[in-house]
A and B are shown apart, each in its own frame.
Chain A
Amino acid sequence: EAGVAQSPRYKIIEKRQSVAFWCNPISGHATLYWYQQILGQGPKLLIQFQNNGVVDDSQLPKDRFSAERLKGVDSTLKIQPAKLEDSAVYLCASSYTYEDRGNSPLHFGNGTRLTVT
């Protein structure tokens, strides 16, 4: 099966500019996640979608970050305006289903490396 697709692979912007990342999950996967991974740290969950609805966005900095998953398939994550501390890899993942105690593992894309100068 095709994996999780993300684009662009790399992005360099200046602070206060805006940027958007795109993710196409594995076909049939109802749940989609965006993670932020700062160098040397583990991935940090930003937002979780079940189909086209938000399940959890408690760790998303909503003053500058936004995400949507129209039609319950592809998703975009936007940052506006960007800050230096947003430099990180943004990972998208999908899973077959979401359950509180389910065992559906996450499938990750290779991420977008964002550098804010």
Chain B
Amino acid sequence: LAKTTQPISMDSYEGQEVNITCSHNNIATNDYITWYQQFPSQGPRFIIQGYKTKVTNEVASLFIPADRKSSTLSLPRVSLSDTAVYYCLGGTGFQKLVFGTGTRLLVSP
């Protein structure tokens, strides 16, 4: 079964760039990689999605190497409000709906 692997937690300071890497084995040729953000007492929120190379939106950038076995979510100049859990999802069919334990990002002043 396809599975994604992320660091359990990361710490950062305000104004720094944060990069969270996700490994995804068995991802199929046509599968997208999707990242979600979750704040306490809220449902996950879609951040960004990509298929290959680089995708950028107003919130983050997503880097996907040519072999697509991993992806990196980049958050530029984080603030305290970026403290949240970040989930990487990828895979085929049912697997694209499977959340792991995510990465808990703590941003300090």
Residues of A with Cβ closer than 8 Å to B?
4, 33, 35, 40-45, 48, 56, 91, 93, 100-103, 105-111, 113
- The answer for the CA separation of A109 and B70 in the assembled complex, in Å, is 29
Establish whether residues B34 and A105, one from each chain, have CB atoms under 8 Å apart when the complex forms: yes
Residues in A whose Cβ lies below 8 Å from that of B34: 103, 105
- Which listed residue (A40, A44, A56, A102) contacts B99, Cβ 8 A? A44
- B13-49 toward A: CB 8 Å interface, digit per residue (1/0)? 0000000000000001011101010000111111001
- The answer for the CA separation of A110 and B41 in the assembled complex, in Å, is 7
Total A-B Cβ pairs within 8 A = 55
- Which listed residue (A43, A56, A100, A108) contacts B45, Cβ 8 A? A108
Establish whether residues B93 and A100, one from each chain, have CB atoms under 8 Å apart when the complex forms: yes
Establish whether residues A33 and B97, one from each chain, have CB atoms under 8 Å apart when the complex forms: yes
- Which listed residue (B30, B45, B98, B102) contacts A101, Cβ 8 A? B30
- The answer for the CA separation of A56 and B93 in the assembled complex, in Å, is 11
Other 18 A-B pairs with CB < 8 A, given A101-B28, A103-B34 = A33-B97, A42-B100, A43-B99, A48-B97, A91-B43, A100-B93, A101-B30, A101-B31, A101-B32, A101-B93, A101-B96, A102-B32, A103-B32, A103-B49, A105-B34, A106-B36, A111-B42, A111-B43
Residues of B with Cβ closer than 8 Å to A?
28, 30-32, 34, 36, 41-46, 49, 51, 85, 87, 92-94, 96-102
- The answer for the CA separation of A100 and B90 in the assembled complex, in Å, is 11
Residues in B whose Cβ lies below 8 Å from that of A45: 94, 97-98
Chain A contact residues: over half helix, strand or loop, or mixed?
loop
Write the chain A residue with the least CB distance to B104: A40
Establish whether residues B43 and A93, one from each chain, have CB atoms under 8 Å apart when the complex forms: yes
Write the chain A residue with the least CB distance to B102: A42
- The answer for the CA separation of A27 and B30 in the assembled complex, in Å, is 27
